[in-house]
Structure 1
């Protein structure tokens, strides 16, 4: 059984898409498939799974409807409040993110009395053998349970520095759409919830079923959040970060040492590394790569210059190295970016 926990302020799109994905998977899995020997037979369940692992329900903490982030009522299973759900091995608890887009709203989310109750019940569900999955700001709620301690996770890319500061014992892979750590899974920003549910469908019904669902719902296969990391959002307000950004943009076509960047910001290299890490959650080198890659993406979309020429224009003498770094930061090749823009 898949249980969707709708917290107050839940994002309707994420919750609705999650429900649609499971419904579509259940419908496809229930269809008979042709047999080479003649009569049509029922589609088999995945190895060791019950016949219908794709049943689902939507619950709230107290069994009452909740208000979405848009202020609309979200109906839930009124007969089964979250605290009374009997979880066991093979069950899955999915938590779509509430609307919390900045540090203040995340603080308010984690300080709510109902969030505190949810944390305890989520922990009990995991102790009972359930798999727990969360996306978007709900990853903060999941981390508050301690279930992510010592594990890898992802979250909203723009809240990743805050996540890393709050939960230093969690390894954050901000570029990933989904991080599967076995008993717990996390996904990035709101619509990465679709990737999370497809991952769970693949676990329950096999990769082929998840692929069919993605095709039916026209969901693209996105393994990375990186190409959605709008650099405007990464600029921050720290004057050291601004100084580095300006210096990099003024010298895109050449290599820059850590010492030169620190000098441009009038701080020591150690202070530079700390300030960029605190503000953006990345190293100075990674920040410079993002600035270069961001400018390269603009050139790919707005010019017809060859990829090798663009590589040199943004500071990469080796076009092969540029392609590797570009793909690591955007999740796609330079050619794919150009094709998509066209």
Structure 2
């Protein structure tokens, strides 16, 4: 089982600490087994966490057996990181352990020197400070997370969820990640910032709403050639009324929702089949392979072939 060690330092941000614990603990494989084993570790037995005190069950030795280490942010990103922590992280990196930071946890990772020469991110308010203190890092304040392979960094607060879901997606494929996203009431991809390198989840209408049957029908018929007029006719509304209600209940338009559905289906096919891109394009309802490639690149942030090469071996 994959072991995740979450390292809590003094004045750890509770939200950042709780995010990986909740997301990874709830993640289940298709056969129902837990996907991850979690360890909360610290450099000292007691850690301050704002309004409460945390008694960490494990010490820094837990980092030695971890497959992934997560570094939550601390209230003061400029606080000196104990040398014992930095040394333990460097040794873990030498062993090939994956290390991910959430929010200002990027400052802890940066202090090890492991991010030098790499692109990284942190909370947008702290990004200028990170760049000033560590000029060797290419700090990008406009993205939700950055994946350098062994080292990953995320922006603040909810971006930690994006990062955790991305890690699950890398480790266990889209189905497991989608289930984890649903449990977290979180889409696998959010508008804005960096396009997520994960399966696209869809804005959902409230359960029991008038649009719910229509969304189910769209998912079932996404591969067909559907126009806005076709969708409106199915809903029994004018196109104007349909667009207004869609925005009110899902935050997007019917055609944007349909395109996201098609991309999600395409991701599944890219992961689980060897079908040529041209065939997948037709299977998911795009009029031409060129249109499919353009839309896929805009939504996912990479090409269909690159996506397949990255994720197909991880499919479950």
Pick one of 83, 86, 95 that aligns with 1:128: 95
CA radius of gyration, larger in: 1
Distance in 1 separating the partners of 2:89 and 2:192:
27
Judged with a 3 Å threshold, the aligned counterparts in structure 2 of structure 1 residues 160 and 74 are, in CA distance, closer, same or farther, namely same
Q: Say if 2:5 and 2:62, in contact at 8 Å, map to a contact too.
A: no
Structure 2 match to 1:198: 165
Write the distance in 1 (CA, Å) between the matches of 2:105 and 2:94: 19
Return closer, same or farther for 1:123/1:24 CA change in 2, 3 Å cut-off. same
Q: How many residues align?
A: 193
Following superposition of structure 1 onto structure 2, how do residues 1-342 of structure 1 map, counting pairs within 5 Å? Answer: 1-26=3-28, 29-31=30-32, 53-62=35-44, 64-68=45-49, 70-77=50-57, 80-83=58-61, 85-87=63-65, 91-100=67-76, 106-107=77-78, 109=79, 111-112=80-81, 114=82, 116-220=83-187, 221-222=189-190, 224=192
Output the CA distance in 2 between the equivalents of 1:223 and 1:60: 35
1:75: how far off?
3.4
For 1:85 and 1:7, how far apart are their aligned partners in 2? 14
Conservation of the 8 A alpha-carbon contact between 1:97 and 1:190:
no
Q: Which runs of 4+ in 1 moved over 6 A?
A: none
**1:76 Cα deviation after fit:** 2.1
Q: For the residues of structure 1 that align with 2:20 and 2:191, how far apart are their CA atoms?
A: 17
Distance 1:84 1:216 in 2: 28
SS at match of 1:158: coil
Give, in whole Å, the separation in 2 of the partners of 1:224 and 1:121: 35
TM-score (ref. length: structure 1): 0.52
CA contact (8 A) 1:8 1:67 kept: yes
On the 8 A contact 2:6/2:40 being kept in 1, the answer is: yes
Q: Which has the higher helix share?
A: 1
Instruction: Give yes or no for contact 1:3–1:59 (8 Å, CA) kept in 2.
Output: yes
Structure 1: 5+ residue runs without aligned partners? Answer: 32-42, 44-51, 101-105, 227-327, 329-342
Q: Tell me the CA shift for residue 54 of structure 1.
A: 1.1
- TM-score between the two structures when normalised by the length of structure 2: 0.56
Matched residue SS, 2:122: coil
Residues 160-194 of structure 1: CA deviation (Å, up to 9, x unaligned): 11111111121112111110000100001133111
Partner of 1:259: none
What is the CA-CA distance between 1:216 and the residue it aligns to? 2.0
Deviation, 1:29, is 4.1
Give the 3 Å change call, closer, same or farther, for CA 97–224 of structure 1 in structure 2.
Answer: farther
For 1:318, the equivalent position in structure 2 comes to none
Cα distance change, pair 65–191 in 1 and its aligned pair in 2 (3 A):
farther
